[in-house]
Amino acid sequence: TLLRLVRALLAPDSVVLRYALRRASLVTAAVLLTVAIGRQRGYWVTITIVIILQPYTGATTLKALQRVAGTVLGGLLTAGLGALFHDPRAIMPLAFLFACLSVAFLPINYAAFSVFLTPTFVLLAEASVGDWHLAGVRIVNTLLGGGLALLGARLLWPSPESDRLPTYLASALRANRDYLRAGVELFGDRSESASRVLRAARREVGLAAANAEASFQRLLAEKSPGAGDVSPVMTFLVYSRRMTASIAALAITRHTIETKVVTLEEFLRIVDPVLNELIAAVAERRPPAGF
């Protein structure tokens, strides 16, 4: 429901709420800072923060590195072009060319996009106001905005992926458990309604697995080299996928072979408590009991 969605978004641990507060605080701080120091074209600092800042720390770091590196290279390119071309009739075709290149590189590499975006804006601004020093201004403002974004991502309402990953892993295992339960309970039912239930359970497993793997990728982006061993998580994800494939094979064989349902129910009675303990252990970050 809409009310439930709003409550989830406004919860204290909501990634969206923390991201909104972080962005609002940093943009406000950037405006106050650029006004206080009299920074020329301070809005470039604000725009850099808005573009770089992402809901997740790892994504923010990657975006900041790409933006800063691309802007520095683009600024150097612009400075060289500004020394060679001063006629607006020559600048406009160059700006058109760089605009096309930036759009073409955007789906491929954000750093390359930033390289060609910088001369586009700077050349157009120089052509209109005759200011031939904007390349350096843009580089400094981008560095300032990138630094503020990185600082804010680390200090303002941080939401490390290591705190969220166990929940996603437990959800993936829980979805597999529910899929297994449905497969055993409906094994003797070959109707279309049973097939729909099993397909829905399989989709839930796929979504949960995709969320867990995405969380793991964000964790890798946040971790520094040598920060810890991630092989247990990789092992968990691999065997979770294998478990899903085994359950899917079980669901399919109900159409092709005759197996005593009572045998599968006995198997489920043995496996279900084990899976419940594993789910609790993963969610609570502790070793499973009895292993």
Written as six digits, the tokens of 128 are: 């209109």
Residue-wise pLDDT tens digits, 53-87: 999 888 898 889 898 898 888 888 877 776 676 66
Look over the chain and give the mean of its residue pLDDT values, rounded to a whole number: 87
Determine the pLDDT at residue 261: 62
CB contact set of 45 (below 8 Å; sequence gap of 6+)? 30, 33, 34, 39, 141, 142, 144, 145, 148
> Contact, 26 vs 49, CB < 8 A?
yes
pLDDT of 120: 83
pLDDT above 70 as % of the chain = 91
Per-residue pLDDT for 226 more than 70? no
Decide: residue 152, CB within 10 A, 0-12 exposed, 13-18 middle, 19+ buried. Answer: buried
Grouping H, G, I as helix, E, B as strand and the rest as coil, residue 276 is: helix
CA quadruple 4, 219, 169, 244: dihedral positive or negative? positive
pTM above the 0.85 mark?
no
* pLDDT score recorded for residue 174: 96
Least confident of 33-47, 72-86, 138-152, 210-224: 72-86
Binned at pLDDT 50, 70 and 90, residue 162 comes out as confident
Query: Rounded mean pLDDT of 125-136?
Result: 64
Query: Taking a C-beta distance cutoff of 8 angstroms, is the pair 173, 275 a contact?
Result: yes
Contact 119, 98 (CB under 8 A): yes
Say what the pLDDT of residue 280 is. 94
Among 38, 47, 36, residue whose Cα is nearest residue 146: 47
Where is average pLDDT lowest: 200-209, 253-262, 277-286?
253-262
Which residue do the tokens 């974004």 mark?
149
d(CA 241, CA 234): 11
- 238 pLDDT exceeds 90? yes
State pLDDT tens for residues 252-274. 887 676 656 668 888 899 999 99
Which is higher by pLDDT, 223 or 117? 117
Question: Is 60 exceeded by the pLDDT of residue 132?
Answer: no
To the nearest 5 percent, what fractions of the chain are helix, strand and coil? Answer: 80, 0, 20
Provide the Cα torsion 212, 210, 197, 278; round to 10°. Answer: -20
pLDDT at position 131 over 60: no
pLDDT at 291: 63
Note the pLDDT tens digit of each residue in 98-115: 889 999 998 888 899 989
| Interatomic CA distance for residues 140 and 72, integer angstroms | 9
Q: How confident is the model over 116-144, as a mean pLDDT?
A: 76
Query: For residues 32 and 167, what is the distance between their CA atoms, to the nearest angstrom?
Result: 39
- DSSP code for 290: T
Name the residue with higher pLDDT: 140 or 81.
140
Question: How confident is the model at residue 202, as a pLDDT?
Answer: 95
